[in-house]
A and B are shown apart, each in its own frame.
Chain A
Amino acid sequence: MELTGITKRFPGVVANHDIHLTVRKGTVHALVGENGAGKSTLMKILYGMQKPDEGTIAVDGEHVVFSSPADAIARGIGMVHQHFMLADNLTVLENVVLGSEKLYGIGGAARRKIEEISDRYGLNVRPDVLVENLGVADRQRVEILKVLYRGARILILDEPTAVLVPQEVDALFANLRELKSEGLSVIFISHKLGEVLSVADDITVIRRGTTVGTAVPSETTPRRLAEMMVGSELPTPETAESTVTDRPVIRVDNLRLEAEGGRPVLDDISFTIHAGEVLGLAGVEGNGQTELIEALIGLKPADSGTITLGDQEITSWPTRKRREHGIGYIPEDRHRQGLLLEAPLWENRILGHVTERPNARGFWLDPKGAQEDTRRIVEEYDVRTPGIDVTAASLSGGNQQKLIVGREMSHRPKFLIAAHPTRGVDVGAQAQIWDRIREARREGLAVLLISADLDELIGLSDTLRVIYNGRLVADADPATITPEQLGSAMTGAVTGHLEHQEGSADSASESRKSESRKTESRKTESRKSESRKDETR
């Protein structure tokens, strides 16, 4: 498969510009780039969901034009989406045949075909299980099988490891090797450089919508790849001096939260964050972080335990009261929780702080005050917008995030919940957001930082905790910890206080294994880990 000079323009931006990509038969080709670099657009073009404005696509030397995913499938191109497209209440068999009933029917022939594919590639898929009973990794294999069932020879995998734990990642990579040994090609989209290096045969780096280079795993390092991705000296999130005081701002004691049916999603969570302290919470996504945020902001009532803000117990307070009393919130999903996408910026300025000045005077809204203050935020936080009357949806992700950060900081919170504050944000905005958090921390803000970017966590935090399966299983000192160690704690392999063990026997293999976690950091690596890696090589 070969792409030449692909260009795609979207309103106001060029999403892809002069992309060149050649995928050889029987290889895994990794496509790496920052969030927002244009990977998804390229992938949509490959899969026929969007048409390129310029450039050509050739499959097996033959020029093709896709006007819909159906065309792409007919050409043997299949896609495994990041968010699975499966019907929970159907069996695996039903999910696989759904929409392709014509291929092998819906009965015995289909089942035999599924079993045959499953055996051939070692997918280990059982056709009669309900999808709702499957774990994430199994679902992903069903998705892969679905694509193969439709006769795909080229598979596109969009961030396939984002939802997997390391063992599952290894299993997935084993599957991918099976696939390529059978002559299939895989396009593997990721920004986790360690994984890319371990599985790919070729790497193409994409930055600001264009391909900036190719690499062969044996001849490159994560750091060099990262620099190609970012295109400049990597910024570091490190904070200089400690500003931690002994004044507790938020205290959580034995917090427990149950899912329906009594299964705990959070159990025995206790921590204290002091004024001027950033507590970093590391963990693979889906281990209770979302629930913890919701319990702290008041969206989910705690089943037991207490939350204390300053010297007031707030466990039973509603969300609004908590926010009025100084809990700031940078949500993990800004489109769902942080913005009214179709409302103008100044109304978004009001969101979450409707009872507070300058947005309201008593019962009445104060649009003038809110508008003026929005102008100030746009100015101070460098939100790139032609004005405050445009809708939030028309801003880029980074600018939306700067607006949210500006809004939350403007109310001088005592305690800030910052969930993935720089996710999907460009490097420039990222540095600004870090600066803001540091600045507020100096003035006595307590921050709970939740991030998948381990370097961000280590660099910004004063204290680190690891959440696994709804429990805080480990703690660490960010001054001495390495991303590798943190990564292994996130899988539940290590608990308790994490010490930095210089030159321990298994550190070499350990470091390689957990590289995948570490490189979630698309940013920087500490000097220390860099030198360790060189030793490994």
Chain B
Amino acid sequence: MKKFDRERVLLAVAGPVIALVSAILLTSVVLIASGKNPFEPYRLMLQQAAYSDVQVLIINQASMYYLAALAVAIGFRMNLFNIGVDGQYRLAAMMTAVAGANLALPGFLQIPVLLIVAIGTGAVWAGIAGVLKVTRGVSEVVATIMLNAIATSLIGYLTLSDVWGVQVGNNMTTGIMHKSGWFPGIDLGPDVGEIYGLVFLAVLMGVAYWIVLNRTRFGFDLRATGASETAAAASGVDAKRMILTAMLISGGVAGLSGLPLLLGDAHTYSLSFPTGLGFTGITIALLGRNSPVGIAFAALLIAFLDKASPALDYATPVAYEKEIATIMQGLIVFAVVVSYEAVRQWGLRRQQKRVGAELAAELAHHASQKEVAA
């Protein structure tokens, strides 16, 4: 059976590797077309990755990407497309910031409360789409996109100074959170920076994701629904309950994805809080094939592109546009979708062939037996 295991590893790695290689090649084509050196930018970015302060930035960013991508992946595993992670995490981060500024419990209570607020807000926001889908048959894609827009407006309203907002200079914030809600990080010195403490939450969530999916009944039902809705229904999965539960969990995890930054560094929700984590999360979940380890690599890769690319603008003697990294991210998405489907089909055929081959000898043997029997 070892040989099928090796086979599976090979297949799992083949997709991403093909995708990345083709994305890099295509990016080089773009560089050549615009009259630039097709390989120099990669060297420059890799150089950046050697600096420890950039490494800290990458890890911190990756932790947020990781959580957002997990949220997307939970939906993907049962064919639900939660595009609304973006709205869910922003609303959740804002609500958490408000709670953190207005609650003053001791740290061992404050932080769990804040986590619960974040999870709850994300879950409720995603749950709206879930309820709409289950009761009215509204596509979750449409509903969550709409909810993203509504979340933006809602945040804008709630951070007005006559609601919950506090104006600091030109920036609208939600006020500084109480210190008991600040999550301590690992300080690596003034030149290097601090790794957010909640990076470990991301790791924990990854482990939990794997356990729930692969070692619980619920996870099996979820995966079965994703693999074949009809087979899952016949095996006793209540599709509606499953959709709602998956949306709630996905939203809950999405709610956490802004927190490493919020509790680790920003300590307030303001206009400068990062947006778009949810969309990048979709890329990362795709690239990571919804597997907790794959998503971790993908999150690190995309965070690397994010954090190493700004230096391109200041490179000497020739500067490159940092948007090269954005182009590359886009190309990765294309390449991933194409190469994974190709590898999947190739793998299925290949396994059928191998199973057929293994049985061929036995089959021939059996056929001759049958002939004798007849």
A interface residues, Cβ below 8 angstroms from B: 10-13, 231-233, 297-299, 318-324, 329, 331, 336-343, 347, 350-355, 360, 363-365, 367, 384-391, 393-395, 428
Contact = CB atoms under 8 A, between A and B. Distances in A.
A500 B123 CA distance: 66
B217 A391 contact: no
A-B pairs, top 4 by smallest CB distance, nearest first, are A12-B356, A320-B236, A11-B353, A232-B374
Contacts of B223: 343
A365 B228 contact: no
Interface string B280-309: 000000000000000000000000000000
B353 A354 contact: no
Interface in B34-67: none
Given A386-B4, A394-B354, 7 more contacts: A13-B356, A232-B370, A339-B231, A351-B224, A352-B235, A386-B355, A393-B352
B352 A360 contact: no
Contacts of A360: 217
A440 to B, nearest CB: 20
A420 to B, nearest CB: 15
B362 A299 contact: no
20 contacts: A11-B352, A12-B360, A298-B236, A299-B234, A319-B233, A320-B235, A321-B236, A331-B234, A339-B228, A340-B227, A340-B228, A351-B235, A352-B234, A355-B217, A384-B362, A384-B363, A388-B1, A394-B351, A394-B355, A394-B356
Contacts of A323: 235-236
Given A336-B231, A343-B227, A365 B355 contact: no
Contacts of A385: 355, 359
B326 interface: no
B231 A338 contact: yes
B214 interface: yes
Contact of A354 (B215, B220, B352): B220
A323 B235 CA distance: 8
B215 A364 contact: yes
Contacts of B354: 11-12, 386, 394
A51 B354 CA distance: 22
A299 B235 CA distance: 10
Interface string B208-221: 00000011111111
A390 B355 contact: yes
Interface string B13-27: 000000000000000
B220 A350 contact: yes
A286 B260 CA distance: 58
A350 B234 CA distance: 13
A340 B236 contact: no
Interface string B333-374: 000000000000000111111111111101100000010011
B353 A352 contact: no
Contacts of B359: 12, 384-386
Nearest to A233: B374
A363 B355 contact: no
A389 B216 contact: no
B237 interface: yes
Given A12-B360, A320-B238, A363-B217, A391 B351 contact: yes
Given A351-B224, A387-B4, A393-B352, A318 B238 contact: yes
A350 B356 CA distance: 24
Contacts of B221: 354
B146 to A, nearest CB: 28
A343 B228 CA distance: 10
Nearest to A355: B217
B10 to A, nearest CB: 14
B230 A337 contact: yes
Given A232-B370, A393-B348, A394-B355, A351 B216 contact: no
A350 B227 CA distance: 14
B5 interface: yes
Contact of B234 (A231, A297, A387): A297
B351 A390 contact: yes
Contacts of A299: 233-234
Contact of A389 (B1, B227, B228, B358): B1
Contacts of B217: 354-355, 360, 363-365
B236 A319 contact: yes
A196 to B, nearest CB: 23
A126 to B, nearest CB: 35
A428 B373 CA distance: 11
A338 B227 CA distance: 12
Given A340-B228, A365-B219, A12 B353 contact: yes
Contacts of B214: 365, 367
A371 B351 CA distance: 20
B374 A320 contact: no
A355 B217 CA distance: 7
A337 B234 CA distance: 6
Nearest to A323: B236
B361 to A, nearest CB: 11
B216 A365 contact: yes
Contact of A342 (B216, B348, B358): B348
A48 to B, nearest CB: 21
A343 B363 CA distance: 24
B329 to A, nearest CB: 29
A336 B228 contact: yes
A428 B218 CA distance: 38
Contacts of A388: 1
Contacts of A395: 355
B218 to A, nearest CB: 8
Interface string B193-219: 000000000000000000000111111
A399 B218 CA distance: 28
Contacts of A367: 214-215
Nearest to A361: B217
B216 A363 contact: yes
Nearest to A320: B236
A322 B350 CA distance: 38
Contacts of A336: 228, 230-231
Contact of A391 (B348, B360, B370): B348
Contacts of A322: 236
B263 to A, nearest CB: 31
Most A CB contacts (10 A, CB to CB) among B235, B236, B351, B355 go to B236
Contact of A338 (B1, B220, B234, B238): B234
Contacts of B363: 384
Contacts of A365: 214-217, 219-220
B318 to A, nearest CB: 48
Most A CB contacts (10 A, CB to CB) among B218, B223, B231, B352 go to B231
Interface in B220-253: 220-221, 223-224, 227-228, 230-231, 233-238
Nearest to B350: A11
Nearest to A340: B227
Given A12-B355, A342-B227, A387 B235 contact: no
Nearest to A370: B220
B271 to A, nearest CB: 44
A347 B358 CA distance: 21
Contacts of B220: 347, 350, 354, 365
A320 B239 CA distance: 12
A389 B374 contact: no
B56 to A, nearest CB: 38
Contacts of B348: 342, 391, 393-394
A12 B349 CA distance: 10
A336 to B, nearest CB: 5
Contacts of B224: 340, 351, 354
A291 to B, nearest CB: 14
